[in-house]
């Protein structure tokens, strides 16, 4: 079965996608993600609810997906990533945004502050899923893993985001497994072509951000030693 993918004529000419944890060629990625999609396939009522939410959202094309993860990334032991403002994501993707005529950006984020930042960049139409999000000054305990308090609702939101992402043709993001998963949905679902992956612009958040943040935060631009964590190597 895997051999059929390796020899598929529509996959033979597709190159390796340069995304941080995509390790296989096109045939390997396509095969692995089809197996993953089958193993995690949605139940009927979930599919119907996700389709309803996607239709109601009415995402305008051409669009880009931007995934900005903040909040807990500063605290990861030996895997620390730095906060980058929304403008830094725009800057890294400026060439593709202009070339593709993109004015609509689907923003995926776990941070209410990121939404606040995006609203101030008025040259784009920003879209995001309405949901509860933590703020940096929120008191969060181990039991508060879901901002809404509803695992069911959080799951439906994530599944809807993956489907919405497949309608866009540019991915902008940082170093994140969630972002990579969203990108794989884009490769699989957007067109009728076999494993049609869009352009990617990725920020390496392991490198310390040298710019300025509009709102200072003790977790920004500090080494992991500040949090009692092991120091990670970073490049200038």
pTM: 0.81
Q: Return the pLDDT at 228.
A: 42
163, pLDDT greater than 80: yes
Question: Across the chain, which distance is largest between two alpha carbons, in Å?
Answer: 54
Say how far apart CA 145 and CA 7 lie, in whole Å. 43
Q: Where are the alpha helices (DSSP H) in 13-85?
A: 26-39, 44-57
Copy the structure tokens of residue 108. 């995926």
Q: pLDDT tens-digit profile of 129-148? A: 988 887 766 665 555 566 66
Integer CA distances (angstroms), 119 to 74, 122, 211, in order: 24, 7, 20
How many helices, marked H, and strands, marked E, lie in the chain?
A: 9, 5
Q: How confident is the model at residue 75 (pLDDT cuts 50, 70, 90)?
A: low
Say how far apart CA 54 and CA 188 lie, in whole Å. 17
Q: Tell me, what DSSP letter sits at residue 195?
A: T
Q: Return the pLDDT at 223.
A: 40
The backbone torsions φ and ψ at residue 22, rounded to the nearest 5 degrees and listed phi first, read -95, 115
Mean pLDDT of 194-219: 75
Mean pLDDT of 88-96: 95
194, pLDDT greater than 80: no
Q: Return the pLDDT at 221.
A: 47
For the chain, list the strands marked E by DSSP.
Answer: 63-68, 104-109, 125-127, 171-173, 200-202
Mean pLDDT of 165-173: 94
166 within 8 A of 185, measured Cβ to Cβ:
yes
Chain mean pLDDT for the chain: 79
Closest CA to 30 of 43, 16, 40: 16
165 within 8 A of 134, measured Cβ to Cβ:
no
Q: pLDDT tens-digit profile of 7-61? A: 667 666 666 565 655 555 777 778 888 888 999 999 999 999 999 999 999 999 8
Q: Return the pLDDT at 222.
A: 47
């Amino acid at each position: 079965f895997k051999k059929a993918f390796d020899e598929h004529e529509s996959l033979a000419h597709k190159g390796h996608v340069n995304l941080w944890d995509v390790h296989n060629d096109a045939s390997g990625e396509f095969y692995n993600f089809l197996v993953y999609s089958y193993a995690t396939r949605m139940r009927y009522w979930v599919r119907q609810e996700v389709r309803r939410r996607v239709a109601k959202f009415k995402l305008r094309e051409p669009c880009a997906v931007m995934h900005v993860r903040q909040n807990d990334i500063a605290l990861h032991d030996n895997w620390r990533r730095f906060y980058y403002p929304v403008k830094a994501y725009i800057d890294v993707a400026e060439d593709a945004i202009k070339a593709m005529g993109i004015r609509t950006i689907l923003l995926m984020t776990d941070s209410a502050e990121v939404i606040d930042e995006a609203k101030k960049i008025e040259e784009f139409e920003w879209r995001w899923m309405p949901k509860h999000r933590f703020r940096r000054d929120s008191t969060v305990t181990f039991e508060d893993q879901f901002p809404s308090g509803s695992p069911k609702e959080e799951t439906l939101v994530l599944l809807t985001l993956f489907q919405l992402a497949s309608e866009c043709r540019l991915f902008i993001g940082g170093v994140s497994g969630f972002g990579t998963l969203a990108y794989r949905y884009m490769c699989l679902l957007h067109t009728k072509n076999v494993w049609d992956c869009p352009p990617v612009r990725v920020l390496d958040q392991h490198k310390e951000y040298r710019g300025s943040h509009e709102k200072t935060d003790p977790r920004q631009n500090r080494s992991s030693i500040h949090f009692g964590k092991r120091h990670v190597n970073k490049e200038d």
